[in-house]
Each structure stands twice: as C-alpha cells, then as structure tokens.
C-alpha cells in the first residue's frame, strides 16, 4: 500500500560495516517499492536511522539527528521517521524514544531487518507507532534486495552476532549469538554481485575466524563437513571474476596459521589484517576476556609479517578500561611502539549497561581517561607514517574508489588498505589500475597512474 504522497527516502547509517550492509538492504527494499533516494534527511519523505550503540557517543549522535529533523517534520506531517539497528535492541532506549520523540513512527531491531518491507507499509498505512524488536533470531539467510552504495565493491555477511563477550562490549547483547551462513549461499551471493559489476568484496563478521564456530584451537576436532574460515576464504578467492577479497574483523585469539597460508597463496586476498588488540597489558586483556596475552599477540603479528609481504596491520585500542593503572596504560603505549601499526583506531572506554565491565567497581575517573587518551593520540601520531617510506617508488594495484570534488584528484585503495591520491579521469572509478607511489604521507600516498 504505497502512499502516493511519499516518494523519497534517506537512510542514515551509524556504526560498523554490518550496519552499512544492513542499510543497503533497507535501501534495496525501498527502491523495490518505488521510492528514490533523497539528497538529505530534511527533504526525504522517509528517513531511517540505522543506529549503533557500541559507545555512548554513538547514541548521542542519533538524538542530535532526530532533534534536527523536528522542523522538517512539522512542515511535512506525513514524513515517516524510523529507527532501527543496535540501539533499538536496548529497552531503555526504545522507551526513551517513544516518550520523548512522538514524531518517530517506526522502531525495529537488528533481528527484524528482513521484515522491513512489511513494517514500513504498516507505518505508512496507520496512525499508530509500529514497534517490532525481537530478542533473538535464528534466521541467518536474509534474501533481501540490495542497493549498493558503491557499484564496484560490497560487504558480504558470512556470520551474524558474536559469542565472545568481551567484558566491555555490548555487541553480543544487541546482535545475538553467532550464526554463520552456509558456504553455498555466500558463494552464490558473491557470484551474483560480480554479475552486477562488483570487483571487491569484504567478508563481514564480528570474529570471522570463528566462522561456523570453529576457532583455531579446535581445528583438529572439526568434522569433515565443517568449513573453517580459511577454507571459506580459499574458496571465495577462487571465484571467477573476483578481483579482490577482504575480511573484517579478525579476533587475535582465533587467527590461525592456515589463514596466513591461504592469504599468502592467493594474490587476490587483500594484504590487510585488522587485528584489534584493545590493550597491551596482560591483566587488562584478562579482565577484558580477550583470551590472548601480549606475547601471543606479538607472535601472531610476527608470523603475519614474516609470511605476507607488504601486509598492512591495523588495530583498535581502548583506554580507561576499569582497573587500568598507569603501568597498564604504559604497556599499551609500548606495544604500539613495538608493532608499528599501519593505522590505529583509538577509543575512550565507554560504560555499556548490561556488560560485565559496567559492574566493575574500579572504573577509571573520566579526567584520567581523557589524559591518557591524549597521550595515546600523541604516541599514535608519532608512530604514524613509519611504514610508508618503504613503498615509495613501487608500482602497485589500486582500486579506484572516488573523485575528490575539490581537488579533482582520484582516490584509490591499495591491497594493504592504504589510500593513494592521483590525477586521472573519473571513468577509472571502479577499475583496478597500476599506480606508482611517488610520495608517502602519514596515512596515504601521492601517486601517478600508469595507464
Ligand atoms: N568485533 C570486533 C569489534 C567490534 S566493535 C572485534 O572484536 O574486534 C569495534 C571496536 O569498538 C572494538 O574493537 C573496540 O575497540 C571498540 N569498543 C567496543 N566496545 C567498546 C566500549 N565499551 N568502549 C570503548 N570502545 C569499545
Ligand atoms: Fe565485541 Fe569482543 Fe565480540 Fe568484538 S569479539 S564484537 S569486541 S564481544
Ligand atoms: Fe555498532 Fe552494532 Fe556495529 S553496536 S559497531 S553497529 S554491530
């Protein structure tokens, strides 16, 4: 039942690649119903916020956006404002929105994405609020239409949810238990995306190394019919026409030698491993429930670097986890200096209701966290650019991704995830070309396209 007054939509996405992928599905459903994408939230007839709740500031962002929409809602009372995603799995947040933001017409959770087609119709066709949030889902196959943000690359879910319960993290609570998709269905989706013009896919999961529930420790116990992540990756890499495959995220505790071998043996698997360490202190890692220590992490890094040429390694760090002492923090700084990452994503610890860490009585005072965060940024800054020099002068493959409107330069991505800026024509976007790396800057290169 399409309301003919409603023509356009805008989906605003917060959070990680999982949400980005979900948003493509939401857009696909709306396009199939005949809606077209609006340029912004104000002019759109339907606005859907796909939320993240991994840190407190992710939540605040949402409230900022809803507040700003009030004006355009008052001029267009038919406007449908919907909210979905991880934050909607939290009862308190849903209650707050219902109470404070009457203009929000539709609320649904991470387990209700596949019902979006019905839910949006319901919201359009009635005067009542539509709220649908399930606690869990066993459904791993979501065959929804899709509208890709980029025509040439896309994310492919290989698993949903997480079983790791790192003590600071809310993801297992809002995304549910780990569910892996079958190989056949993953391969089929990739083949069909290649038919649509995709050249690079990113395999997505909160801990891809535990695909099908087989962590590295238990490889030898696996049944014949089980498929491990390295086996899946190997199979995906062989798909005809797939120029590049990436994956995210790897948990250090489950990264196996097999995985390193598979990457090494397939040139179309991108030379980039995001390996979040979170902390350099053994006692904090233990309290975080990460199941590795500093030494075993460093051994994995060594193995990766000595086997995979030109690999890019990136990480996530949390400062101010409960009980973190000055010494613990120093251990993290030392580890950053030791590893020389290609990029480090830094976060202040954020207390998430319902997690174990939120109950710990040794929370670090905010001013201490802020002070440490500043020091951390300084060390990250000092370390950045350490690895770029050795690439200067090389000619490398680049997937051309975009054009900068102001400088007119193209931006491409190397296999190891570094960006390269160079002159070239817009019709190169989506192609893989050779680029000579002329100058190394901290996080990127300046290059020259060799055509
Ligand atoms: N599954 C991925 C990461 C998912 S969340 C993994 O295990 O690596 C992305 C990052 O957010 C995490 O790596 C962590 O650094 C950060 N993060 C998660 N919960 C957080 C919290 N409560 N406070 C601050 N940072 C957090
Ligand atoms: Fe969160 Fe840990 Fe799962 Fe990553 S592995 S999503 S940090 S619980
Ligand atoms: Fe955020 Fe949910 Fe991803 S909490 S980081 S959008 S899984």
Which range is least confidently modeled, 64-78, 157-171, 199-213, 326-340?
Answer: 64-78
Q: Is the CB of 352 under 6 A from ligand 1?
A: yes
Between CA 35 and CA 116 the distance in angstroms is 14
The residue behind tokens 């090389």 is 394
From 95-104, 220-229, 358-367, the region with the lowest mean pLDDT: 220-229
Task: List pLDDT tens digits, range 135-177.
Answer: 887 665 667 889 999 999 999 999 999 999 999 999 999 999 9
Distance (angstroms) between ligand 3 centre and the Cα of 174 equals 8
Q: Which atom number of ligand 1 is nearest to the Cα of residue 169? A: 19
CA-nearest residue, atom 3 of ligand 3? 16
- Whether the CB-CB separation of 149 and 11 falls below 8 Å is answered with no
CB atoms within 10 A of CB 425: 12
Q: Which fold has domain 8-132?
A: Rossmann fold (3.40.50)
pLDDT of residue 335: 98
Of the candidate CATH numbers 3.40.640.10, 2.40.30.110, 3.90.110.10, 3.80.30.20, the domain formed by 153-387 belongs to 3.80.30.20
Confidence of residue 5 (pLDDT cuts 50, 70, 90): confident
Closest ligand to C-alpha of residue 358 is 1
**pLDDT given for residue 225 in this prediction:** 65
Amino acid 220: pLDDT: 53
pLDDT at 314 over 90: yes
Contact residues for 263 (Cβ-Cβ < 8 A; gap 6+)? 233, 269, 271, 273, 308
Q: What is the pLDDT of residue 38?
A: 96
Site to probe by mutation for ligand 1, drawn from 20, 276, 320, 322 as the one with most ligand atoms within 8 Å of Cβ, is 276
Q: Is 401 exposed, middle or buried (0-12, 13-18, 19+ CB in 10 A)?
A: middle
Residue 436: C-alpha distances to residues 100, 309, 330, 334, 394 (Å): 55, 18, 39, 34, 6
1 — pLDDT class (breaks 50, 70, 90):
very low
- Residue 4: what pLDDT? 61
Cβ-contact 57, 39 below 8 angstroms = no
What are 205-261's pLDDT values in tens digits?
999 999 988 865 455 556 666 899 999 999 999 999 999 999 999 999 999 999 999
Q: Residue ranges of the domains in the chain?
A: 8-132, 153-387, 389-450
**Within this chain, domains 8-132 and 389-450 share the same CATH topology:** no
Helices (H), 384-449: none
Q: What is the pLDDT of residues 264-290, one digit of tens each?
A: 999 999 999 999 999 999 999 999 999
50's enclosing H/E stretch is strand 46-51
End-to-end CA distance of the chain: 51
Q: List residues bridging with 444 in a β-sheet.
A: 419
Which pLDDT score is estimated for 96? 95
Residue 400's nearest CA partner among 424, 446, 431, 423 is 431
> What is the fold, at CATH topology level, of the domain defined by 389-450?
OB fold (Dihydrolipoamide Acetyltransferase, E2P) (2.40.50)
The average confidence (pLDDT) of the chain is 94
3-state secondary structure of 307: helix
């Amino acid at each position: 039942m399409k309301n003919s007054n409603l023509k356009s939509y805008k989906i605003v996405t917060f959070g990680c690649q999982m949400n980005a992928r979900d948003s493509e599905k939401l857009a696909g459903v709306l396009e199939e119903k005949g809606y077209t994408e609006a340029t912004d939230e104000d002019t759109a007839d339907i606005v859907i916020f796909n939320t993240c709740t991994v840190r407190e500031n992710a939540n605040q962002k949402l409230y900022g956006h809803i507040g700003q929409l009030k004006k355009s809602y008052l001029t267009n009372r038919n406007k449908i404002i919907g909210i979905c995603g991880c934050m909607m799995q939290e009862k308190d947040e849903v209650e707050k929105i219902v109470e404070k933001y009457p203009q929000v017409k539709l609320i649904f959770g991470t387990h209700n994405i596949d019902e979006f087609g019905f839910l949006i119709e319901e919201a359009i066709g009635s005067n009542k609020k539509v709220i649908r949030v399930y606690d869990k889902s066993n459904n791993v196959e979501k065959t929804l239409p899709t509208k890709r943000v980029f025509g040439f690359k896309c994310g492919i879910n290989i698993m949903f949810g997480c079983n790791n319960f790192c003590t600071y993290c809310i993801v297992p609570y809002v995304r549910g238990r780990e569910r892996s998709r079958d190989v056949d269905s993953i391969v089929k989706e990739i083949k069909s995306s290649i038919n649509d013009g995709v050249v690079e896919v990113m395999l997505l999961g909160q801990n891809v190394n535990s695909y099908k529930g087989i962590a590295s420790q238990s490889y030898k116990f696996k049944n014949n019919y089980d498929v491990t992540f390295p086996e899946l990756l190997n199979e995906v890499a062989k798909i005809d026409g797939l120029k590049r495959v990436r994956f995210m995220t790897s948990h250090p505790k489950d990264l196996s030698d097999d995985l390193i071998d598979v990457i090494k043996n397939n040139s179309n698997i991108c030379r980039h491993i995001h390996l979040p360490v979170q902390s350099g202190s053994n006692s904090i890692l233990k309290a975080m429930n990460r199941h590795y220590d500093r030494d075993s992490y460093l051994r994995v890094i060594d193995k990766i670097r000595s086997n995979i040429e030109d690999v890019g390694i990136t990480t996530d760090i949390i400062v101010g986890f409960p009980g973190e002492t000055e010494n613990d923090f120093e251990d993290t700084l030392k580890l950053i200096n030791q590893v020389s990452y290609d990029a480090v994503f830094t976060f202040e610890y954020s207390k998430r209701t319902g997690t174990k860490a939120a109950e710990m009585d040794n929370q670090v005072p905010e001013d201490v966290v802020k002070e440490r965060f500043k020091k951390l940024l300084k060390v990250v800054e000092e370390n950045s650019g350490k690895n770029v020099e050795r690439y200067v002068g090389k000619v490398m493959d680049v997937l051309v991704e975009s054009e900068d409107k102001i400088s007119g330069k193209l931006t491409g991505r190397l296999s190891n995830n570094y960006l390269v800026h160079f002159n070239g024509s817009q019709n190169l976007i989506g192609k893989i070309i050779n680029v000579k790396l002329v100058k190394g800057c901290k996080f990127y290169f300046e290059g020259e396209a060799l055509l």
